[in-house]
């Protein structure tokens, strides 16, 4: 049972436009969410996170939105750059005894065309 | 970049042999994690450690064991490797359960 889902395996965007990556979750105990970026042959790199007490968090070109009622989060990248081309993973962290045990989505391959 | 070194970076071995992967950190972080990445599954937690000699199981722990005798080192052992354990293995560290985890560059393990 996939508790965190990224339903779009890939996304193609033109340089300078907005990239929107989506993530859905089913476990209502998740209270902390993260986005990671991964280049080939490297480990995932932390991008941005959001706590369930917020609905938006911004860091430069990256903004994460959380809709708790819909159990949905999204990552917006504006403007998109060719160097943003990578695999993006969303991850979720539940509270209590599960804290620290991240559950990842399957990933979305983002391609930004010059 | 977080000071995390995984070794070896690549390994090919045969079914039934024991395999040990090493994760070494220079950040003095308390928490360390082992994940595997497979197509269609993202990353899945195998085991994690919340201190020296303190470890616990993750989502896909069967067939794996871990040890942490020093803060800086976290070892993952496949007791008797099987072809289903062919994967890319990532180590991660964090200095708090509510803090982002930072990952090493992975070990690509092939079991023939």
pLDDT at A59: 97
- Select the residue of A89, A100, A106 nearest B40 (Cβ to Cβ): A106
Distance CA B98, CA A94 (A): 10
pLDDT at residue number B1: 55
3-state class of A78 per DSSP?
coil
| Tally of CB atoms within 10 A around A99 | 13
Q: At residue A97, does pLDDT exceed 90?
A: no
| pLDDT score, position B41 | 87
User: Is A99 or B71 the better-scoring residue by pLDDT?
Assistant: B71
Q: Which of A55-59, A103-107, B1-5, B13-17 has the lowest mean pLDDT?
A: B1-5
Residue A61 pLDDT level (bands cut at 50, 70, 90): very high
Q: Which two tokens stand for residue B108?
A: 């690509």
Give the pairing type, strands B107-111 and B10-13: parallel
To the nearest whole angstrom, how far is the Cα of B79 from the nearest Cα of chain A? Answer: 23
What residues have CB less than 8 Å from A69, skipping those under 6 apart? none
Question: Tens-of-pLDDT digits for all 112 residues of chain B?
Answer: 569 999 999 999 999 999 999 999 999 999 999 999 998 889 999 999 999 999 999 999 999 999 999 999 999 999 999 999 999 999 999 998 888 999 999 999 999 9
Beta bridge partners of B4: B25
Considering only the beta carbons, identify the residue of B40, B45, B104 that sits closest to A102: B45
CA separation for the pair B112, B97 (Å, rounded): 36
A100 touching B (Cβ < 8 Å): yes
Q: How far apart are CA B86 and CA B17, in angstroms?
A: 13
Tens-digit pLDDT profile for residues B23-52: 999 999 999 999 999 988 899 999 999 999
Residues A19-34 have a mean pLDDT of 95
* A39 close contact with B: CB closer than 8 A: no
CB contact residues (below 8 A), chain B span 30-59, against chain A: 31, 33, 35, 40-45, 48, 50, 58-59
């Amino acid at each position: 049972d996939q508790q965190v889902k990224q339903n779009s395996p890939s996304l193609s965007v033109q340089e300078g436009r907005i990239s929107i990556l989506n993530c859905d979750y089913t476990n209502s105990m998740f209270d902390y969410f993260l986005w990671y970026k991964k280049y080939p042959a490297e480990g995932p790199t932390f991008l941005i996170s959001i706590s369930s007490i917020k609905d938006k968090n911004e860091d430069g070109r990256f903004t994460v939105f959380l809709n708790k009622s819909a159990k949905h989060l999204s990552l917006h990248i504006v403007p998109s750059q060719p160097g943003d081309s990578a695999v993006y993973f969303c991850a979720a962290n539940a509270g209590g005894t599960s804290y620290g045990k991240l559950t990842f989505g399957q990933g979305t391959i983002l391609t930004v065309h010059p | 970049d977080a000071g995390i070194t995984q070794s070896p970076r690549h390994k090919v071995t045969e079914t039934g042999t024991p395999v040990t992967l090493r994760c070494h950190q220079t950040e003095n972080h308390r928490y360390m994690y082992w994940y595997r990445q497979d197509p269609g599954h993202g990353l899945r937690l195998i085991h994690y450690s919340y201190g020296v000699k303190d470890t616990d199981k993750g989502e896909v722990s069967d067939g794996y064991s871990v040890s942490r005798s020093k803060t800086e080192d976290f070892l993952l052992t496949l007791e008797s490797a099987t072809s289903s354990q062919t994967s890319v293995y990532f180590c991660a560290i964090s200095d708090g359960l509510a803090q982002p985890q930072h990952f090493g560059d992975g070990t690509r393990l092939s079991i023939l």
